[in-house]
């Protein structure tokens, strides 16, 4: 783990027409070339943090700094060269091919009156190769599986060549096999391309298996922050998810198994 690239300080957020705070003073930091997950149950504020980081929603108090620069001072283009964003997989308005979707990751480098050049096309192809999905190049994005779409969006983020990658629940619509496949690719990206990854997850076990650092939040407050080995335990799960679990060890890895009544 390297130096701190992203720092969130005392972040507050509330919707314009709605009185109560959704984020109530969240602080954490992200180190370079590592995977950090924001873990929490549904409705805990994960997505809100994500939208604030992505600059889609404006937080009401606090600050977010990238390399010690507040992000509100960055214009969209500067920001898109620092952060790439992987949204949850979705249906676009028009049936683009996978390659056309990935090529859109080059937008930060292409002028308003210009189109992608050879270098942009090469970068997009390389992103497809890195994730081993070249065979999907000419397939329609609307016709492929959820896991493949998620990988396509990740390839688009790779083509963006930003040092920090934000992923919003990359596994939420996927079956177990695809969840693991996608998270393994994300780990490969962090390791081989030296990209700092920050993602939201709601499954503590996946968070435990795939992250260097976990930030646990609940009801808009940070509950814990640290290495998964140090902080993910039976009490924390009880507190955050209101669920009785037992910690099991298997091949040196720890798993949290729910205890069912009777």
Residues near other proteins, by CB under 8 A: 54-56, 75-81, 83-85, 87, 90-97, 100, 103-105, 107-108, 110, 112-116, 142, 160
Smallest distance, other proteins to C-beta of residue 16, A:
10
Residue among 1 and 56 whose Cβ is closer to other proteins = 56
Beta bridge partner(s), residue 254:
249
Q: How far is the CB of 250 from other proteins (least distance, A)?
A: 38
Closest distance to other proteins from the beta carbon of 46 (Å) = 16
**Both tokens of residue 173?**
């619509």
The string of DSSP codes covering the chain is ---EEEEEEEEEE--TT--S-SEEEEEEEEETTSEEEEE--TTSSHHHHHHHHHTSS--SEEEEEETTEEGGGS-HHHHHHHEEEEPPP---SS--BHHHHHHGGGGGGS-TT----HHHHHHHHHHHHHTT-GGGTTSBGGGS-HHHHHHHHHHHHHHTT-SEEEES-TTTTS-HHHHHHHHHHHHHHHHHS--EEEEEES-HHHHHHH-SEEEEEETTEEEEEE-HHHH-SHHHHHHHH---EEEEEETTEEEEEEPPP-
At closest approach, how far in Å is the CB of 160 from other proteins? 7
Nearest residue (CB) to other proteins, 80 versus 207: 80
Q: Measured from the CB atom, is 140 or 231 closer to other proteins? A: 140
Closer to other proteins by Cβ: residue 75 or 242:
75
- Least CB distance to other proteins at residue 242 (A): 32
CB of 71 to other proteins, least distance (A): 12
If the CB atoms of residues 2 and 95 are measured against other proteins, the closer one turns out to be 95
By C-beta, is 38 or 102 nearer to other proteins?
102
- In angstroms, the CA 28 to CA 8 distance is 5
Q: How many Å apart are CA 37 and CA 43, to the nearest integer? A: 16
Instruction: Give whichever of 23 and 103 is closer to other proteins, judged by the CB atom.
Output: 103
Smallest gap from Cβ 140 to other proteins, in A, equals 9
């Amino acid at each position: 783990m390297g130096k701190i690239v992203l720092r969130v300080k005392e972040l507050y957020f509330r919707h314009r027409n709605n009185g109560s705070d959704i984020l109530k003073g969240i602080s954490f930091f992200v180190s370079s070339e590592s995977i950090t997950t924001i873990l929490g149950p549904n409705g805990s504020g994960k997505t809100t943090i994500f939208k604030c980081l992505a600059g889609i929603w404006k937080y009401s108090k606090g600050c977010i700094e990238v390399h010690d620069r507040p992000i509100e001072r960055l214009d969209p283009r500067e920001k898109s060269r620092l952060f790439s964003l992987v949204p949850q997989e979705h249906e676009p308005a028009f049936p683009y091919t996978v390659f056309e979707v990935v090529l859109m990751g080059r937008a930060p480098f292409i002028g308003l009156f210009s189109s992608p050049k050879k270098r942009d096309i090469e970068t997009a192809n390389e992103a497809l190769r890195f994730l081993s999905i070249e065979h999907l190049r000419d397939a329609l994005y609307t016709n492929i599986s959820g896991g493949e779409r998620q990988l396509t969006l990740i390839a688009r983020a790779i083509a963006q060549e930003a040092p920090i990658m934000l992923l919003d629940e990359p596994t939420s619509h996927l079956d177990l096999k695809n969840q693991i496949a996608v998270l393994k690719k994300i780990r490969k990206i962090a390791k081989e391309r030296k990209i700092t990854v920050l993602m939201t997850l709601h499954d503590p076990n996946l968070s435990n298996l795939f992250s260097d650092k976990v930030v646990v939040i609940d009801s808009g407050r940070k509950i814990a922050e640290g290495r998964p080995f140090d902080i993910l335990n039976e009490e924390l799960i009880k507190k955050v998810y209101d669920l009785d679990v037992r910690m099991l060890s298997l091949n040196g890895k720890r798993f949290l198994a729910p205890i069912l009544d009777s």
